[in-house]
Chain A
Amino acid sequence: MSQAVATSHVGWLGKLRVLFAVHYAEMIEYRAEIALWAIATMQPLIMMGVWAQAGESGLFSFTQIHIFRYFIAVFLIRQITIVWIIHHFEFLMVTGRLSPHLLHPIDPCIRYILMHLGEQWTRLPFALLIVGFFIFLYPDTLTGGAEGAAWWPGWLNLSLAVVTCYAAFILRFFMQYALCMAAFWHERVGAMDAVLFLPYAFCSGLLFPFEALPDALRDVLLWTPFPYMVWFPATLMVGGEVPMMRAALTMAGWTVFFFVLYRYFWHRGLKHYSAMGA
């Protein structure tokens, strides 16, 4: 690998840029499909409707406007944190197309991350259109209505939200990529993702605001990796209070855990892979 770097004329950054450009161009080809996919990720916006109605009743600790902002933030975060590598990896594995990727002087994992980024950039304009539509429906989300304040989390919170959002993507990516490694031994790993998706959906804050949870349950959930994929960046984006230190450490801990898990099984898997002569 080091040899390839020495003989090439483009730096690492240049390579990354080229790979990104290639995958972005590739994804643009599928923009019709990706636009539909933006619609397919609208579940938080549907839940927004139910929770907004609930917020109006006055029986909960949150207001309707808070719900609008929270779920729009969740929807945007979801756009950056969708990971589908497991389905692609299964395809590469089953068709034997992983082999050419292994010959490249760049770890395939980097290529897959750039693929995701390319796909995200293709999807984002469609997602923004959807957000625009909901803000048009409920303009109070931005303005805060008659007596509320406008939606502005502050520069610090906003930049932290963007950083944690990409950190959330990396965490989710490695969680799924670690599971991908099972593909070296088992053909159908895509089905496993469906099982992993459930705790993600129900524990991350994708479908409900954390304020609706009983305190004890919320505390337990904050030890799992899931809230850091949605709740953490979303709360920063709406300008809410987050136990910063604890959140950052738990998130980093889980990311390292899944990364190490992936590296370990990647090396074992590769040995197994060549052994099969696949």
Chain B
Amino acid sequence: MNRYLNTLRIFWSASISAEMEYRANFVMAALSSLMSLGGTVIMLYLFYRTGYEMGGWPWRDALAVVGVFTFLEGMQSTFMTPNRTRVTEHVREGTLDFVLIKPINSQFWLSVRTISLWGIPNIFLGLAIVGYGLITRETPPTAGGIFFGTAALLLGVLMLYSLGYLLSTISIWYIKLYNITMAMQALVETGRYPITAYPAAYQTFFTFVLPVAFMTTVPAQLMTARGGTGWLLGAVVVAALLLTLSIAFWRFALRYYTSASS
């Protein structure tokens, strides 16, 4: 366990100092995060300015969903995306060999090898929006709601990670699938709004096939004390299932790995 924590510390401090070389880009990333969030909030307002309530969610609660989504987006581009693209690279160049012979779990190594600071602004902006939505709503959130909501939020991060890792595992068979990340990203966009704002067909797909509903709607629902502790149980099951699947699939895929460009 200690070895894993040590590795983590070394990896991350190395990537942070590497990223620091591109400080100007960080400023640009922060600006574009801010603009993107601004655009999203204005767009949300386009729905609410007529008195329409998205899927029965009042304005401030819907803002909390936007915040949760922004937070997850930040987590993804900080911790997940940079590592995911590397898995494909390792397979293509055959350097995965060197990862596999290291005395450490290969999935762990590949998942935490690097971090990117570009997502940090989104993490904080997301939390700020959630906070704003919660504090300004008429009935303040309960301690239990915050606790269960945060738990669901962390489970959401775990789901997003597992899904992403599942997809990047496919690169063992098909290298050159960089776009798979983009495709998933586009579908996860659904999470920007409460799931009940979508038509029935969308709701079914994004709850049972691609569980985006569990990633953003459920945490926001619990935090705003809109009930549904049963959903938390569902989130636990979905997260556990996806994580197990990603581990099992990685082990399965490695059996087919035959070094460079397999």
Chain A residues engaging chain B, CB cutoff 8 angstroms: 30, 32-34, 36-37, 39-43, 46, 49-50, 52-54, 57, 59-60, 137, 188, 191-192, 194-195, 198, 201-202, 207-208, 212-214
Which chain B positions have C-beta within 8 A of A49? 190, 197-199, 202
Given contact pairs A32-B177, A46-B187, A202-B39, a sample of 20 additional A-B residue pairs in the complex whose CB atoms are under 8 Å apart: A32-B174, A32-B176, A33-B178, A33-B179, A36-B182, A37-B179, A40-B182, A46-B186, A49-B198, A50-B54, A53-B55, A53-B197, A59-B51, A60-B52, A188-B25, A194-B28, A195-B32, A198-B32, A202-B43, A208-B43
Are B28 and A191 neighbours in the complex by a CB distance under 8 Å? Answer: yes
Interface residue B183 (Cβ < 8 Å from any Cβ of A): yes
Are A33 and B32 neighbours in the complex by a CB distance under 8 Å? Answer: no
Bound Cα distance A57, B47 (Å): 11
Which chain B positions have C-beta within 8 A of A33? 176-179
Are A36 and B179 neighbours in the complex by a CB distance under 8 Å? Answer: yes
Bound Cα distance A33, B201 (Å): 27
Which chain A positions have C-beta within 8 A of B16? none
Bound Cα distance A278, B100 (Å): 39
Q: How large is the interface on B (under 10, 10 to 19, 20 to 34, 35 or more residues)?
A: 35 or more
Are A198 and B183 neighbours in the complex by a CB distance under 8 Å? Answer: no
Which residues of chain B in 165-180 are interfacial with respect to chain A, using CB atoms and an 8 Å cutoff? 174, 176-180
Are A30 and B176 neighbours in the complex by a CB distance under 8 Å? Answer: yes
The binding surface of chain A is classed by DSSP as helix
Chain B residues engaging chain A, CB cutoff 8 angstroms: 22, 25, 28-29, 31-32, 35-36, 39, 42-43, 46-47, 49-52, 54-55, 174, 176-180, 182-183, 185-187, 189-190, 193, 197-199, 201-202
Report the minimum CB–CB distance from B35 to chain A (whole Å): 5
Are B198 and A39 neighbours in the complex by a CB distance under 8 Å? Answer: no
> Can you show 12 pairs from A to B with CB atoms below 8 A apart?
A36-B177, A36-B179, A37-B179, A37-B182, A39-B186, A40-B179, A43-B189, A46-B189, A46-B190, A49-B198, A49-B199, A198-B32
Report the minimum CB–CB distance from A39 to chain B (whole Å): 4
Are B183 and A40 neighbours in the complex by a CB distance under 8 Å? Answer: yes
Q: Given A33-B177, A137-B201, are A198 and B36 neighbors across the interface (CB < 8 Å)?
A: yes
Choice from B39, B50, B197 contacting A59 with Cβ under 8 Å: B50
Which chain A positions have C-beta within 8 A of B198? 49-50, 53
Which chain A positions have C-beta within 8 A of B54? 50, 53-54
Bound Cα distance A34, B190 (Å): 22
Q: Given A36-B182, A202-B39, A208-B43, are A59 and B52 neighbors across the interface (CB < 8 Å)?
A: yes
Which chain B positions have C-beta within 8 A of A137? 201
Bound Cα distance A197, B97 (Å): 38
Bound Cα distance A247, B79 (Å): 44
Bound Cα distance A46, B190 (Å): 6
Bound Cα distance A53, B202 (Å): 11
Q: Which of A32, A36, A41 lies at the interface centre, i.e. has the most chain B CB atoms within 10 A of its CB?
A: A36
Bound Cα distance A43, B111 (Å): 27
Bound Cα distance A60, B54 (Å): 13
Which chain A positions have C-beta within 8 A of B178? 33
Report the minimum CB–CB distance from B32 to chain A (whole Å): 5
Closest to B49 in A: A214
Which chain B positions have C-beta within 8 A of A207? 43
